[in-house]
Every structure is written in C-alpha cells, then in structure tokens.
Amino acid sequence: MPVVNERFEPLIVAFCCNWCSYAGADLAGISRMSYASNVRIIRVPCSSRVNPGFIIRAFQRGADGVLVAGCHPGDCHYHSGNFFTRRRLTVLKQMIEYLGIEPQRFQVRWISGSEGAKFAMVMNSVAEEIRLLGPNRKLRDVR
C-alpha cells in the first residue's frame, strides 16, 4: 500500500469530448457546482480521437490520473466513435494494469452535455480515488 499523504494533490488529465463531457463541464460551471481543482481538461472532438498513446504520455510526464469522458454509448455525436473508444480503452485499461499501474488511475466515463452535476461528482470521486493512491511513480520518466 502506498503511503497516504493527507496533503497530496494529484494531477489529473481529462480528455473530454467537445459535444458532451466538455459541455457537461461547462454546465457544471454555469450551475456553479464546485469540484476538485486537480483536473485539467483537454478538449477533443470525440472520445475516439484519444489515442492510447496520449494517455501513456500523460502518465510518463507525471500525471497521477487520466480520465477520458465521452458521450454515452449509443449517443455519439459521430454515430459510432465512443464504441471505438470503449473497445480501445478497455484493452488499454488491462494493459495499464499489466504495466503495474493501479487501474483506478485510468478511468473512462460517459457524461452527457446535460449532466453538469454528474461531471462535478465524477471529478470529485476520481480526484479522491487517486489522492488515496498517492503519486504516480511507476511510469513517470525522469526529466
């Protein structure tokens, strides 16, 4: 078990689909729902744009957690993109575990543009989960 540092603030990179999760994040803002400030959002046109390589890179550069958020399966703005996301990232999640990284560090969530509250809740729960895991040291490259 990693040593839990009470004051540890994890850094979380979130890839958000422009059409749903990014809009959900905006809605959380418009509704003034506060959530953990650890998350940094990268806007992508579709969750299927997220190359598994981007996720690995984030871990290498020192991110403590990575989140990919897309439209609910079946609701993809581009018909079928999130089905590819789901398939690709399910495989990646297993690989990440194989690499020795706690699988909770990498999460995929479906958040629609109308789910501001869900966005805030997910950010809080993911931040809390990763905070408990402590810093990511496994893949972090020495720079």
Partner 1 sequence: MKRIGVFICWCGSNIAGTVDIDKVAAAAGTMNGVVYVDQNKYTCSEIGQAMIKDAIKEYKLDRVVIAACSPRMHENTFRKTVESAGLNPYYLEIANIREQCSWVHKDKEAGTAKAISLIRTAVAKAAMNEALFAVEMPITRRALVIGGGIAGIQAALDIADTGFEVDLVEREPSLGGRMAQLDKTFPTLDCSACILTPKMVDVAQHEKIRLFTYAEVEKVEGYLGNFTVTIRHRARSVDLQKCTGCGECLAKCPAKVASEFEEGLVQRRAIYTPFPQAVPNKPAIDRAHCRFFTTGKCKVCQKVCPADAIDYEMEDRLLTNGYGAIVVATGFDTHKLNDYGEYAYGKHPDVLTSLEFERLLNASGPTGGKILRPSDGKAPKTVAFIQCVGSRDKAKGNSYCAKICCMYTAKHAILLSEKVPGSKAFVFYIDVRTAGKDYEEFYTRAYEECGASYIKGNVSKVFPEGEKLLVRGVDVLSGALVELLVDMVVLAVSVDARADAKELAKKLAVTVNEHKFFTEAHPKLRPVDTQTAGIFLAGVCQGPKDIPETVAQASAAAVKVAAIFSKQSLLSNPTVAEVEQKLCSGDMSCMAVCPYGAISEQVVEERRGREMVTRKIARVNVALCQGCGACTVACRPGAINLKGFTNQQILAEVDAICL
Least distance between partner 1 and beta carbon 137 (Å): 14
Q: Which of 20, 44, 71, 96 binds partner 1 (CB under 8 A)?
A: 44
Torsions phi, psi of 19, nearest 5?
A: -90, -20
Beta-strand ranges (E) seen in 18-130 are: 39-44, 65-70, 106-110
Chain Cα centroid distance, residue 6: 22
Which residue number, 8 or 84, has a Cβ lying nearer to partner 1?
84
Q: Which of 10, 20, 21, 41 binds partner 1 (CB under 8 A)?
A: 41
**Binding segment toward partner 1, per CB under 8 A, in 16-24, 93-101, 102-110, 126-134:** 16-24
Q: Residue count at the site for partner 1 (CB under 8 A)?
A: 42
Binding of partner 1 at residue 121 (CB under 8 A)?
no
Is the Cα torsion angle 2, 127, 9, 12 positive or negative in sign? positive
Q: Residues with Cβ < 8 Å from 109, sequence gap 6 or more?
A: 21, 67, 68, 69, 122, 126
Q: Which of 2, 4, 45, 99 binds partner 1 (CB under 8 A)?
A: 45
Residue keyed to tokens 């297993």: 94
Q: List contacts with partner 1 (CB under 8 A).
A: 11, 13, 18, 22-23, 25-26, 28-30, 32-35, 37, 40-46, 48-54, 57-58, 61-63, 77-81, 84, 88, 120
